[in-house]
């Protein structure tokens, strides 16, 4: 009845081809790309991710790395190793000579040198990590390479070591403000280490260390009485610039992200993160105003007049107290 081969089979073949092309173009290929975890949230995340050298969002390896690949025991092991390493650095610096101009502040000099090492390590690591893997900013909860969790654990170990060093060498009344700061930071970062989530969020917070490195260098120059000098002037301006770019901008980004994602983040973490952001944000703004007034708006001290005591050594440091007192803490150590 039907002609052999020719008229109807091509029609069925065409219909079959059209039917097979529907899932091929509309069902199989399309849903894969929009399935990125952070692609649905339109927020400052995209702007932060696009600020790195690689503006295009990477695909592949990061999407397949589960957040729990780094288990809690390994995170605690890295934290403990970091604590031991920074405490060893504290003790090792005691064997090295302190500059004569900072002889009255030996412990503070050693403490800030260790803080400078931590800031350079974690701040540079966070900047490179977010530049090479912007997906950590696009998905701050789940998207991260395994080494990013290691960097966060290293930072937790440092803050524990620094708090121990302050308790060992200062009274509680002298260090209570920094100890409260360290307690908030350790609590927030420990949530990331223990859960394996929010690593991207923590990596953004580590950008603040780039500004902390300038703060530590500025304080070392003050302790060694290198103000006024060209090095101190450059460091002061670098401190103000990095405070705006790598402290206030990340803090604003994290605050806005937490506000927009408050319905998807557990309430306890929203309260914890909000408390940390408010604490560090208030300290950062106060610190910026103090440095602006002390280093930029106030005129440099005049050369000493015969018969008068020189006052160069009383320039205000990061916490708003004179360097000559020797009992003030560094106003902020992120």
Token readout for 13 is 């073949």
- Complete DSSP assignment for 92-124: HHTTSPPPGGGGGGHHHHHHHHHHHHHHHHHHH
Q: What pLDDT does residue 182 have?
A: 92
Beta pairing partners, 322: 316
pTM above 0.75, yes or no: no
The CA dihedral of 236, 177, 150, 71, to the nearest 10 degrees, is -160
Phi, psi values for residue 190, rounded to 5°: -65, -30
Q: How many CB atoms neighbour CB 233 within 10 A? A: 15
Please report, in angstroms and rounded to a whole number, the separation of the first and last CA atoms in the chain.
Answer: 86
Q: What is the pLDDT along the chain (334 residues), one digit of tens a residue?
A: 544 444 444 444 444 444 334 334 443 334 434 334 444 434 334 446 454 434 444 444 444 344 444 446 788 999 999 999 999 999 999 888 888 777 788 899 999 999 999 999 999 999 999 999 999 999 999 888 889 999 999 999 999 999 999 999 988 888 888 898 899 899 999 999 998 899 999 999 999 999 999 999 999 999 988 878 899 999 999 999 999 999 999 999 999 999 998 888 899 999 988 988 998 899 899 999 999 998 888 755 544 444 434 444 445 454 444 443 333 333 566 5
The whole-angstrom separation of Cα 60 and Cα 58 is 7
Alpha carbon distances (Å) from 303 to 40, 296, 308: 61, 18, 10
What is the domain partition of the chain in residue ranges?
A: 44-53+68-299+313-325
Note the pLDDT of residue 102.
75
């Amino acid at each position: 009845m039907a002609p052999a081969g020719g008229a109807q089979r091509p029609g069925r073949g065409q219909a079959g081809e059209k039917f097979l092309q529907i899932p091929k173009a509309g069902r199989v290929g399309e849903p894969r790309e929009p399935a990125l975890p952070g692609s649905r949230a339109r927020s400052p995340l995209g702007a932060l991710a696009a600020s790195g050298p690689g503006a295009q969002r990477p695909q592949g390896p990061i999407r397949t790395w589960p957040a729990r690949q780094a288990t809690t025991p390994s995170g605690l092991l890295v934290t403990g190793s970091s604590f031991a390493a920074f405490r060893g650095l504290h003790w090792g610096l005691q064997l090295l000579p302190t500059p004569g101009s900072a002889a009255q502040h030996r412990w503070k000099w050693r403490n800030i040198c260790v803080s400078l090492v931590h800031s350079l390590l974690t701040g540079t690591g966070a900047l490179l990590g977010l530049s090479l893997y912007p997906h950590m900013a696009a998905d701050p909860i789940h998207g991260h390479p395994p080494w990013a969790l290691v960097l966060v654990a290293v930072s937790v170990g440092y803050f524990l070591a620094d708090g121990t060093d302050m308790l060992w060498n200062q009274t509680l009344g002298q260090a209570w403000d920094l100890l409260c700061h360290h307690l908030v930071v350790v609590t927030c970062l420990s949530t990331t280490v223990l859960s394996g989530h929010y690593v991207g969020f923590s990596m953004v917070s580590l950008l603040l260390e780039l500004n902390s490195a300038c703060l530590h260098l500025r304080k070392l120059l003050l302790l060694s009485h290198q103000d006024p000098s060209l090095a101190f002037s450059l460091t002061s301006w670098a401190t103000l610039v990095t405070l705006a770019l790598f402290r206030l901008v990340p803090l604003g980004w994290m605050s806005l992200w937490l506000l927009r994602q408050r319905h998807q983040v557990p309430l306890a973490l929203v309260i914890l993160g909000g408390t940390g952001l408010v604490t560090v944000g208030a300290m950062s703004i106060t610190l910026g105003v103090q440095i602006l007034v002390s280093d930029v708006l106030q005129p440099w001290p005049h050369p000493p007049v015969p018969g008068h005591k020189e006052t160069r050594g009383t320039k205000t440091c990061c916490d708003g107290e004179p360097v000559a007192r020797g009992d003030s803490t560094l106003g902020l150590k992120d």
